[in-house]
Every structure is written in structure tokens, then in C-alpha cells.
Structure 1
Amino acid sequence: MLLIVPADPLRPRRPDEHFAPEAHAARDAGVEVAVVDHDALARGDDVARAVSRVSAEGVAVYRGWMLRSERYAAFAAALARRGVVLRTTGEQYRRGHELPGWYPDLAELTPRSAWTVGTGRGDFDRARDALGGGAAVLRDFSKSMKHHWHEAAYIPDLDDGDAAWRVASRFLDLRGDDLVGGLVLRTFERFATAEVRTWWVDGVCVLSGAHPDSPHDTPPEAFDPRTVGASVAALGLPFVTVDLALRADGVWRIVELGDGQVSDRPSTVAPAAFVGALFGPAT
């Protein structure tokens, strides 16, 4: 197994500082590490050069910054030409990274959602009508702007179309060229706990702990990721994260599912423990 991480932009032979602890832990565990030029991958202008430092062959896992699904697919194809097979295929990455890919299979376990194909007011209003009234949270296919909660994420009343569109317009301004897919509206649910991030390899939960946004909030003692295990396993995705929170009525809900390769590791999870969960015990 090979671990691939982004290169440091200033020292291209070394791992990016953010992923260096995982790279070092992987090497200590006997896992080979290679670096790629993330900026070139994100631009998509010279993918062959971006992966030119990957010399080993075999099955690989990427741990790095988010890539658009089409860029990830090009990344996977460029590696395949070098004899490297990403454990997560391009189609699997899209299903885990973009909400429309996983939502239909988990609809009973996560807030009700509707989304657009375009980003115009008409598209938005059709999604708003489909979801119905009440409060909602806005995002795109892969990311919200929850740190801009009141101006670009939270919609108090979907029936107020003009006010809802002002939130959507601000969201579009903030996301700009980084927008992925269309606009997603999700029914607002009130949670009683911070989010818990769980990591799943081949449908098995290998690690659970705090969410990166609240790294010191440990999961409640009663938390059991197996409550969603069968549904997550049925997705058939090789490496994903599932973020859960306890709703005010005592029901655990899936807040987000993401591709594990581009999901952040909370600072309170030791790199060695993370690598051990992902690759198995040290060799």
C-alpha cells in the first residue's frame, strides 16, 4: 500500500506541512509515501507532471486537499498510467464527495434535502418548493459556508423566497469559482451534541472521535457508530468519513458523508493512531 500526499509548495520533495505528520507516521509503519503537486492537480493543466514524483507501483490511498471530482478522476487516470491504482475510483470519489451521490441511500438517516442543477433563482425556487417550508441549511454538493452561518448558510423560513435567495446569493458570492455542482437545501434539525467524525474502511468503522471543528469535544459515552453501520457498508465505498450528531429528540443523525481521502483529521487524533486505523498495525 502506498500513501500519496500533497507536496510542500516551497519544498516539492517533501510532504505539505499539514499532512507531514501522517506521512511520517506512515513511513514509521512501513508504508511507502509519495508526493504530488496539488496545485497542478487542482488546475488540471499538467496532471502528468503533477504525479511525476510517484515512482512506486501498486494500490494507493490519497490524503490531501479536496479536488473536484473531475480533477480526481484525471488524477486517478494519470496514476494508472504509472502503474498506481487509487483504492478509491473516480466514480467512488464522486459518490462520497458530492451529496447527490450518497444522499439517496442514506435519506432516512440524514436531514431531508433538495438540490439544483443550475444556480439561478428559478432553479433555487424549485428546490425550495420541493423541500417545503420551515428552516433550512444551504450548501453546495460538497461544502457549506457554516462559518458564515447567518449570511450564507442558515435560512430561517423557506417560505420567504426573497430572504432565502439573499442567503443563496451571498453563498454564491463567497464560494465563487469553488462552487461544486448546484445549490443544496437541507431541512434544519436541532442537535444536542457537537458532531462526531467516524472513519470507515470497506464499510467498517475503524476510528471515531471528535470533529475537526470541535477537536476537544469527545463523543458521548452512549455513542455507537454501528447504528448506521449497515447503511454505510451498503454504499460499497472503500474509505469515507461519516459525521454524526445527536438530534434534540435523542436520535443520531448523519450530518455529512465525505470521501475519507480529503476529510480533515482532528488535531486530537494522533497521526500514528490514524495511520494504524487506515493501514493496519505497523509492519
Structure 2
Amino acid sequence: MTLIVPADPLRPRRPDEHFAPEAAAARAAGVPVVLVDHDRLARGDAAELADVEDGVYRGWMLRAEHYPSLPGLRTSAAQYRQAHELPGWYDVLASVTPESVWTKGFSRDDFDHARLELGPGPAVLRDYTKSMKHYWHEAAYIPDLADADAAWAVAARFVQLRDDDLTGGFVLRRFEDFVAPELRTWWVDGTCRAIGPHPDLPADTVVPQPDPTDIAPLVGKLGLPFVTVDVVRRADGVWRVVELGDGQVSDRPAAVSPERMIEMLFPRSSGS
């Protein structure tokens, strides 16, 4: 069992400051820690991981094509892509997440085809891996897909802002009125192991607790080793899935301690 974390770019023998608490917790629990050069990993160079066994990565986001195809990693390259990109998980979770359509490119024709497929009304725009929610009115929210030019203006701004980070194609999601703070749930081998505020929220945010058993059969059906599922309550009181992501590159909120993270991932070493 091995925890893999990025090295500090300036001090390569030390873990990156953001992941140092998890590395320290792992070592305290008897879990070996391997440091990797994130820049090399992001270029597809996984030479540092050649001898890793049952390795779990906790680090910065990687494009699916750069995730290492090594047998020693607990999450395979195919599983990483399935969790990391919306088309990989959407069909299984379609009943509990906003209706979505997507393209395989970023042209105006691609966008218009998806826009007409989803139909008129408000929508939220993203690509396979990320939205630009912090630019909500200019690059995320589309008031009415029937207004072709206004909708495309949002899409064009989205492309401009995402730039080299664009992934896959456009994803258009039917807008739903969410009213409660967003939660991040953590799942290991299909079992929910922790629930807390989304990392964008203060650690002391008081949030209602969803019943994870409602989505557990669907998450289990995906068969993924380690994922996060972000959920939020809709205006009618129904809990909805906002996002599923690979847990290795999902940010840990302060409400989930480093020790809890290691306990989830390596229960035999941490004595749980």
C-alpha cells in the first residue's frame, strides 16, 4: 500500500505543502509515501511510479490521457477517465442528476446540435471535467437555450476562459434550482465513508446530511475504487448529484481530517 503525492516544486524531497498533511498522516499510520514530480506526471511520464503496489494518488488534477497506465495503481487509467469525465458516469447516475447532453468538440455546430437536443429553457454549461461557475453569468449559466446567439456568447466565453484546459467537448445540463449548501461525499469501493461541506465552503458550515443509501446502489454499480460525489438539495427538497469525480484529485475539505482520509484509504494500516 502506497500513498503518492506531488513533491514541492522547490524542495523535491518534501511533499507539496497542500498535500503534506495527508503525507504526514500516512507515514504516521505506517503507509509508505512516494513523491512525484507533478509536471512530469502531467506530461505522461510515470517513471517514478514503476514499482508502486496498491498505490493511491492524492494530488493535482491530471488529464485522463496523462493518468499513468500502471498495474500498481488501485485506480486504472480507464477507471480514472470514467470518474473524471462526465460522459463516463452520467448514464448510471442519470436518474439523480440534471439531464445532460454533450458534444465531442467545441465548434458552433457542435454546440448548436447539443442545444437543440436538450431543448429550450435554462441550462448550465461545462466541459467533460469542469465548469466556470465563478464566471456564472458570462461563462456558465444560459438563461434560455432557444436564444441561439446569446447561448453561443456564453459558450464562446467559456472556451476563451478554459483555453488549453478544455477537455472533451461541451456539456449542457438542464438548470435545476438548488437551495442548500453543496456537500462532498467520499466513497471507497462503493461505500460512503465521509460527508462534509464542499471545499469551496467554510469548514464550519452547518449543512443538512443526506441519506447516502439513496445513491449507494448507483455509485456501487460504477465499480470505481475511490470517488467523490457532490450533492445538493433542490428547491423541492430532493437531493441531487451535482458531480462525480475521481477521489484522487478531489480537494479535501477542512472538515475531513488528513487522518480520516488515510483511514478511509488504508484501513488495515490505520487500524480501523
Q: TM-score range by the shorter chain?
A: over 0.9
- The correspondence of residues 236-247 of structure 1 with structure 2, limited to 5 A, is 236-247=223-234
User: Is the 1:38–1:65 contact (alpha carbons within 8 Å) kept by the matching residues of 2?
Assistant: yes
| TM-score of the two chains, using structure 1 as the length reference | 0.92
Code of the residue aligned with 1:201 in structure 2: it is V
User: Is the 2:52–2:73 contact (alpha carbons within 8 Å) kept by the matching residues of 1?
Assistant: no
Distance 1:171 1:55 in 2: 38
State the 1:55 CA deviation. Answer: 7.7
Structure 1 residues 68-93: Cα deviation after superposition (integer angstroms, max 9, x where no partner): 11100xx233xx4xxxx110000000
Number of the residue aligned with 1:156: 143
- The correspondence of residues 146-185 of structure 1 with structure 2, limited to 5 A, is 146-185=133-172
Number of the residue aligned with 1:76: 69
Percentage of matched positions with identical amino acids: 64
Q: Which runs of 4+ in 1 moved over 6 A?
A: none
Q: Which moved more, 1:208-217 or 1:227-236?
A: 208-217
Structure 1 55/33 Cα, relative in aligned 2: closer, same or farther at 3 Å? farther
Structure 1 residues 31-76: Cα deviation after superposition (integer angstroms, max 9, x where no partner): 11001111111123x442xx2xx5864211000111111100xx23
Structure 1 118/29 Cα, relative in aligned 2: closer, same or farther at 3 Å? same
User: Is the 1:209–1:218 contact (alpha carbons within 8 Å) kept by the matching residues of 2?
Assistant: no
Code of the residue aligned with 1:10 in structure 2: it is L
Number of the residue aligned with 2:222: 235
Structure 1 243/25 Cα, relative in aligned 2: closer, same or farther at 3 Å? same
State the 1:25 CA deviation. Answer: 0.6
Q: Give the length in aligned residue pairs.
A: 269
Code of the residue aligned with 1:25 in structure 2: it is A
Asked if residue 276 in structure 1 is aligned to residue 254 in structure 2, the reply is: no
Distance 2:91 2:4 in 1: 31
Residue segments in structure 1 that go unaligned for 5+ positions in a row: none
State the 1:277 CA deviation. Answer: 2.0
Number of the residue aligned with 1:218: 206
State the 1:118 CA deviation. Answer: 1.2
Residue segments in structure 2 that go unaligned for 5+ positions in a row: none
- The correspondence of residues 103-118 of structure 1 with structure 2, limited to 5 A, is 103-118=90-105
Distance 1:225 1:103 in 2: 18
- The correspondence of residues 22-101 of structure 1 with structure 2, limited to 5 A, is 22-44=22-44, 46-48=45-47, 51=48, 54=49, 57-72=52-67, 75-77=68-70, 80=71, 85-101=72-88
Structure 1 237/69 Cα, relative in aligned 2: closer, same or farther at 3 Å? same
Distance 1:127 1:279 in 2: 42
Number of the residue aligned with 2:6: 6
Code of the residue aligned with 1:6 in structure 2: it is P
Q: Which secondary structure does the structure 2 equivalent of 1:242 belong to?
A: strand
